[in-house]
Copies of this chain bind each other. A is one copy, B any other.
Amino acid sequence: MAHDLIPDVLNDRCPSRAVLNHVTSRWGVLVLIALQDGTLRFSALRRRIGGVSERMLAQSLRLLEDDGFVRRTAHPVVPPHVDYDLTPLGREVAARVHALAACIEGSLDQILAARKV
């Protein structure tokens, strides 16, 4: 009966699957990488991540915040000022994500060269 006690992403019903999807989502990955260098405001984050729309950035940030990877700090001033940074847990996953991205960036030449399509 211990089929759900140990988290396993290969298992369809394991909640870890959803969290993994948030982290590996198109923009989620890039948010984590971008925030590794420190705190950023919404607009700065948007400028940093090429091609992201306001809508998707906001949505990705909320998901990562709900999972406890990103911390949102709103300063009650006008015009609005909101800071985003990584939680301790967020820093751990961001490090893995970054390692993956770096690995791909590093062997990109090799990948593109071997590609026929």
Give A residues with C-beta under 8 Å from B. Answer: 6-13, 15-16, 19-21, 23-26, 29-30, 33-34, 48-51, 66-68, 89, 92-93, 96-97, 99-101, 103-108, 110-112, 114-117
16 CB-based A-B contacts, threshold 8 Å: A9-B29, A9-B33, A10-B33, A12-B50, A12-B51, A16-B101, A16-B104, A19-B108, A19-B111, A20-B104, A24-B29, A67-B115, A68-B110, A92-B107, A93-B103, A96-B100
Identical copies in the complex: 2
Report whether B117 and A66 are in contact in the complex, using a CB–CB cutoff of 8 Å: yes
Q: Which of B7, B89, B104 is the one whose CB lies under 8 Å from A105? A: B7
Q: Which residue of B lies closest to A117 (CB)?
A: B66
Q: Which residue of B lies closest to A8 (CB)?
A: B105
Q: How far is the CB of A98 from chain B (nearest CB, A)?
A: 9
Write out the residue numbers on chain B whose beta carbons fall within 8 Å of the beta carbon of A10: 30, 33-34, 48-50
Report whether B7 and A114 are in contact in the complex, using a CB–CB cutoff of 8 Å: no
